Amino acid sequence: MNTASTTAPSSGGFFSYLRRAEAWLDDKGRGAWIAAMVLGFIFVWPVGLALLAYMIWSKRMFNRSSCAERRARHFERHAGGHWGHAAMRPSGNAAFDAYKADMLRRLEDEQTAFESFLQRLREAKDKSEFDSFMEDRARAASAPVPAADVARPGEY
């Protein structure tokens, strides 16, 4: 039997530090990378230059997907994965949960009533416009035609 481990222990060191720093900067976003580069230029210009070259080489400067991924991770962490579901989670306080459920039900009822009011308002406006159109059309049809507009037989 062999008691030796099949995986090598992590050696820490300088490259481990760089990987952790890179992960930290990725988590903070493009602004953190730019701030690190500017600070690098201010204090030790070769470090700033190296960061600029790395950002361009690794496409961190122009890649938008990392921002979207970071935003998605943030929302999952703070809203439970979905925006709407955070409001529906119980808080642990029964009185507050009952109040919240009642308030959400009332808000939904108000929203439904308001939407039906807007629908009735649109229908009334459409009906008044249509009635106005029909009255104008009937008035135009019943108005006498001027003699100059009446064509004589044989004329066009």
Does residue 150 sit within a domain? Answer: no
Number of domains, the chain: 2
If asked whether residues 27 and 78 sit together in one domain, one would say: yes
Q: Are residues 103 and 70 in the same domain?
A: no
Domain contains 6: no
Tokens of 132: 């106005």
Helix ranges, 30-93 (H): 30-43, 45-57, 65-79, 83-88
DSSP conformational letter for 143: S
**Same domain flag for 129 and 75:** no
Whether residue 99 is contained in a domain is answered as yes
Q: What is the pLDDT of residue 18?
A: 77
Q: Say which residues have a Cβ less than 8 Å from residue 48's Cβ, sequence separation at least 6.
A: 37, 38, 39, 40, 41, 42
Q: Choose one of 67, 86, 105: the last residue of a domain.
A: 86
What is the average pLDDT score of the chain? 77
**pLDDT at position 56:** 81
**Any domain includes 22:** yes
Same structural domain, 103 and 132: yes
pLDDT for 7 beyond 60: no
Please check whether residues 106 and 80 belong to one and the same domain.
no
Task: Provide the residue type at 138 as one letter.
Answer: A
Residue 125 lies in a domain: yes
More confident residue, 65 or 124: 124
| Token representation of residue 75 | 């929302």
Query: Domain check: are 65 and 117 in the same one?
Result: no
Residues 19 and 82 in one domain: yes
What pLDDT was estimated at residue 151? 60
Q: Is residue 75 part of a domain?
A: yes
**Which residue, 86, 103, 129, sits at the end of a domain?**
86
Report for 20-34, 57-71, 93-107, 136-150: range of highest mean pLDDT: 93-107
- Mean pLDDT on 113-128: 94
> How many whole angstroms separate alpha carbon 99 and alpha carbon 118?
28
**Does 79 reside within a domain?**
yes
Report whether pLDDT(28) > 60: yes
Domain that holds residue 97: 90-142
Flag whether 4 is in a domain: no
Same domain, 110 and 48: no
**Could you tell me if 21 and 35 are in contact, meaning their C-beta atoms sit under 8 angstroms apart?**
no
Mean pLDDT, residues 84-92: 73
